[in-house]
Amino acid sequence: MDRKKFLAQVGMGAAALLVPACMGGLSSCKKTDTNPTKDFTVDVSSGSLATNGGFMVSNGVIIARTNSGSFLAVAAACTHEGTNINYNPSGNNFICPNHGAQFDSTGNVTQGPASNNLTRYNTTLTGNSLRVFS
């Protein structure tokens, strides 16, 4: 048997093993829910959220502090291919670094290739503790 035939058979064997596992519900083959119910707090007294224009990702949510000092929270995964988005303080919007999708401050798509909006979360500030919740 030549090398090309051997590699083709090995590849088919691996595929035959993986297909039933995915069909049987193996977790690594399923797309996970990227926007489950959220309720958590973050400390904004230090780190990136201590200054206007900063942002961070926590629990699958991107939290941004606008230039005016208010807080925004939307799902961190771009709805196009799941890459974590970034906050753009000068435009007060979110941008995907992979393919350039853009979302406004409330998570609505303003530029593709994404076609679905981001889930928006509520925020409440008490002292230095910011609560992010559904």
User: Per-residue confidence of the chain (134 residues) as pLDDT tens digits?
Assistant: 665 565 456 555 544 444 444 444 433 333 444 556 799 999 999 999 999 999 999 999 999 999 999 999 999 999 999 999 999 999 999 999 999 999 999 999 999 999 999 999 999 999 999 999 99
* Residue numbers of the domain that contains 94: 39-133
Same domain, 43 and 24: no
Element (H, E) at 83: none
Look at the chain and report how many structural domains it folds into.
Answer: 2
Provide the 10 A C-beta neighbour count for residue 48: 15
Same domain, 10 and 72: no
Same domain, 78 and 102: yes
Same domain, 18 and 61: no
For the CA atoms of 44, 35, 19, 9, the dihedral, rounded to the nearest 10 degrees, stands at: -40
